[in-house]
């Protein structure tokens, strides 16, 4: 199979998905898409490298799930509705079962989240995936990292830290409910789009709550205080590793793609409605204060989150 046969066999049906936004799908020099009048386009690019972002010899399904969620999660953090995506895959050789599993999982995610694949690239090379995702927001409404104000509450979706704990179990070969938080993370699009007009700032948690809340603080020129008693701590993680470790996981574990966002006092009653409409647990974990940096009274934290080339 050469590249054209692989694309035809495994990926062409992903391009068939119809959408009002997609005027020309894969197969020409470019895709052609439209953006509705009065809306803006959000764009994000993420790369996942074998052995760096996911374990060696990971199944195609895992790589598709993680590549999709890592990038689509950035749309959720802007409050965007899904629009379209491109994918660039390199692999050392054309392994059919892996490609079939990758393409099927990506196709399922593409149709269930309504994000058609509009183009991409397939080349020989080390196993890596780069996704570029696009979403739309009504003009001027995108949720930014800047915008948090002293007095705002800090919220998170789900239980951050589950994926990092799940990865450790996954690598050790232990079966657990936590592992699927790593192997099949869910981007929080349904929550993100409902936070527009409610949240004053938002980010997705890729490097851990502690590290990513710092990005909000930097961009907003404020500080934050996390209250550990309020942290949603994974019960499974607590049983496996004890309360202290579970709290540490919740603060520093990345890879979940939960959302962290801030909400002014006057909007706080709207959060219950978002939880009800989405069935996603949302927990208040702290508050924005004047100053700089994130403090967690009762816990000593130095780890700033994963950094490449350190």
Alpha helices in 113-196 (DSSP H): 162-172, 179-183, 189-194
Alpha helices in 198-256 (DSSP H): 209-220, 235-241, 243-252
Cα dihedral: 205, 198, 200, 215 (round 10): 0
Residues 244-303 that bind a second copy (CB under 8 A): none
Tell me which H or E stretch contains 272: helix 270-278
**Which residues, 6 or more positions from 78, have their beta carbon under 8 angstroms from its beta carbon?**
42, 135, 137, 142, 143, 144, 192, 202
Question: What letter would DSSP give residue 29?
Answer: S
Residue 33 binds a second copy (CB under 8 A): yes
Each residue 98-127 as x (binds a second copy by CB under 8 A) or -, in order, gives --------------------xxxxxxxxx-
Shortest distance, CB of residue 204 to a second copy, whole angstroms? Answer: 6
For a second copy, the binding residue among 10, 11, 15, 44 (CB under 8 A) is 44
**Which residues, 6 or more positions from 278, have their beta carbon under 8 angstroms from its beta carbon?**
190, 191, 194
Residues 123-142 that bind a second copy (CB under 8 A): 123-126, 128, 130, 132, 134-135, 137, 139, 142
**Contacts with a second copy: how many residues (CB under 8 A)?**
67
Residue 88 binds a second copy (CB under 8 A): yes
Shortest distance, CB of residue 220 to a second copy, whole angstroms? Answer: 12
Q: What are phi and psi of 211, to 5 degrees?
A: -70, -40
Shortest distance, CB of residue 40 to a second copy, whole angstroms? Answer: 5
Residue 178 binds a second copy (CB under 8 A): no
Q: Give the span between the Cα atoms of 294 and 140, in whole angstroms.
A: 28
Is residue 140 exposed (0-12), middle (13-18) or buried (19+ Cβ within 10 Å)?
Answer: exposed
Residue 57 binds a second copy (CB under 8 A): no
For a second copy, the binding residue among 100, 219, 280, 289 (CB under 8 A) is 219
Residue 154 binds a second copy (CB under 8 A): no
| Binding residues for a second copy (CB under 8 A) | 1-4, 6, 23-24, 27-35, 37, 40-47, 49, 52-53, 74-75, 77-78, 80, 84, 86-88, 90, 93-94, 118-126, 128, 130, 132, 134-135, 137, 139, 142, 144-145, 202-204, 219, 307-310
């Amino acid at each position: 199979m050469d590249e054209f046969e692989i694309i035809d066999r495994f990926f062409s049906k992903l391009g068939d998905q119809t959408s009002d936004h997609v005027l020309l799908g894969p197969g020409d020099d470019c895709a052609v898409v439209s953006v509705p009048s009065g809306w803006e386009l959000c764009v994000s690019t993420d790369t996942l490298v074998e052995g760096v972002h996911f374990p060696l010899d990971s199944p195609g399904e895992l790589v598709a799930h993680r590549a999709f969620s890592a990038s689509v999660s950035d749309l959720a953090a802007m409050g965007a509705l899904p629009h379209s995506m491109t994918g660039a895959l390199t692999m050392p050789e054309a392994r059919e079962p892996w490609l079939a599993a990758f393409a099927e999982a990506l196709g399922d995610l593409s149709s269930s989240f309504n994000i058609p694949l509009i183009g991409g690239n397939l080349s020989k090379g080390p196993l890596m995936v780069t996704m570029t995702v696009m979403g739309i927001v009504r003009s001027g409404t995108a949720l930014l990292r800047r915008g948090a104000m002293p007095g705002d509450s800090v919220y998170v979706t789900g239980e951050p830290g589950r994926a990092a704990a799940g990865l450790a179990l996954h690598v050790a070969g232990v079966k657990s409910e936590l592992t699927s938080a790593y192997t099949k993370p869910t981007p929080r699009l349904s929550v993100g789009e409902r936070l527009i007009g409610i949240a004053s700032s938002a980010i997705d948690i890729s490097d851990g709550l502690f590290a990513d809340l710092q990005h909000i603080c930097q961009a907003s020129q404020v500080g934050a205080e996390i209250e550990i008693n309020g942290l949603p701590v994974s019960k499974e993680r607590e049983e496996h590793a004890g309360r202290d470790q579970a709290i540490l996981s919740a603060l520093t574990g990345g890879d979940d793609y939960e959302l962290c966002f801030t909400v002014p006092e006057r909007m706080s009653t709207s959060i219950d409605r978002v939880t009800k409409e989405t069935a996603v647990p949302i927990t208040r974990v702290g508050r924005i204060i004047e100053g700089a940096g994130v403090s967690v009274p009762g816990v000593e934290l130095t780890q700033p989150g994963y950094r490449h080339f350190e």
